Amino acid sequence: MPHKIVNGQQVELTEAEIAARAAEETAWNAGAFDRAMIELRSKRDRLLAGTDYLALSDQTLSAEMTTYRQALRDITNGITTVEQIDAITWPTKPGA
Amino acid sequence: MSITRIQNANAFTGTIPADNFANATLDNVTLLPNAPLGDMVLVSSATASSSASIEFDLSSYKEYKFFFVNIHPSATTGNPLFQFQCSTDNGSNYNTTITSTHFRAGHNENDADQYLSYNTGKDQAQGTSFQSLTDGDVGGDNDQCQSGMLQLFNPSSTTFVKHYIGHNNSVHANDVCGTVFSAGYFNTTSALTNIKFQMSSGNIDDGKILMFGIN
């Protein structure tokens, strides 16, 4: 039986608690895509920031680095499912 | 049982008066120094076994400290996070208003990625959801779990809000070591009466939570 532990003692969940827990999990799973997109953008932004110094006005950005940075910016294009996010192949950072 | 009792050593010279050496039986000892008890008390503990949640009653300790030891989710379906919330109505509802921060550091086992960043998706601004103490999905493999701690300050106060500070480390399903600092406050002047820990999805398969009270 589904249970919880209260002050160290195992207590079986009531039908209402089971239903409430199921509703919580449904809501959580419904937000999976949004959470995955946040993580995707966070990593993309981090990788972009890691090469920002190469785009300063006193630097010359190589064509390979320009392509790499554009690929990072485009990484979210056409993404509509968590499965697509999980299957993303990140571009390889060229030698700086 | 024979024991030796030494009293009144001179702390400056190291001299111990001869008449203070005495061999005696344990039955003859009438005074032993009090062991320092301290003010940190193990109030309760719980070991999960495919448990939906772990809950504790809160009382009047000025501070509570929770230790999480090898918390292991039942599955990685739904990318489960380890979360907590508090109740102000003796456990009937766990939806107290929280404002919190959440930042993290991560490092892959394959050394391919390292990061330190604020986690916009897991903080709350006057939210009533369960607060995440971990980042990403806590892995369900046998070499993946989460350990850490949570401090909760003066939950019985009816004057001030109640702060918390959490520091946890987890191994994610994609073999990332993720360290999370989350801190915030329960924006209520009602006393917090109960605390509840759970995975955002699925059960807590295994692991132990120790609850200490500090006065």
Give the pLDDT of residue B32.
63
Q: Is A4 within 8 Å of B55 when comparing Cβ atoms?
A: yes
Neighboring chain B residues of A28 at a CB cutoff of 8 Å: 78, 200-201
Taking the Cβ of residue A7 and every Cβ of chain B, the question of whether any pair is shorter than 8 Å is answered with yes
Give the pLDDT of residue B112.
81
Query: Is residue B175 a contact partner of residue B26, using CB atoms and an 8 Å limit?
Result: no
Q: Is A46 within 8 Å of B55 when comparing Cβ atoms?
A: no
Give me B2's structure tokens.
Answer: 């024979």
Give the pLDDT of residue B12.
52
Give the pLDDT of residue B15.
53
Chain B residue set in contact with A, beta carbons under 8 Å: 44-49, 51-57, 78-79, 91, 113, 115, 117, 119-121, 136, 200-203
Give the pLDDT of residue B139.
75
pTM to 2 decimals?
A: 0.83
Residue from the list B56, B120, B200 with its beta carbon closest to the beta carbon of A7: B56
Give the pLDDT of residue B188.
97
Q: Is A28 within 8 Å of B55 when comparing Cβ atoms?
A: no
Range 31-70 of A in CB contact (< 8 A) with B: 32, 34-35, 38-39, 42-43, 46
Q: What is the pLDDT of residues B46-81, one digit of tens each?
A: 999 999 999 999 998 999 999 999 999 987 677 789
- Cβ neighbours of residue B206 closer than 8 Å, sequence gap 6 or more: B47, B48, B49, B70, B71, B72, B145
Residue whose token pair is 């739904």: B78
Give the pLDDT of residue B17.
54
Alpha-carbon gap, residue B135 to B180, rounded angstroms? 6
Alpha-carbon gap, residue B66 to B82, rounded angstroms? 13
Give the pLDDT of residue B3.
55
Query: Is residue A33 a contact partner of residue A41, using CB atoms and an 8 Å limit?
Result: no
Give me B121's structure tokens.
Answer: 């998706």
Residue A5 parent element (H or E): strand A3-6
- Cβ neighbours of residue B48 closer than 8 Å, sequence gap 6 or more: A5, B54, B71, B72, B203, B204, B205, B206, B207, B208, B209
Q: Could you state, in chain order, the average pLDDT of each consecutive group of 10 residues for chain B (215 residues)?
A: 52 52 59 67 96 96 96 82 96 96 94 87 95 84 89 97 97 88 98 97 94 95
Q: How far is A92 from chain B, CA to nearest CA, in Å?
A: 11
Give the pLDDT of residue B100.
98
The mean of the pLDDT values for chain A is 93
Residue A68 confidence (pLDDT) above 70: yes
First-to-last C-alpha distance (Å) of chain B: 38
Give the pLDDT of residue B114.
87
Sheet hosting strand B131-132, strand order edge to edge: A9-12, A3-6, B54-57, B194-199, B82-87, B131-132
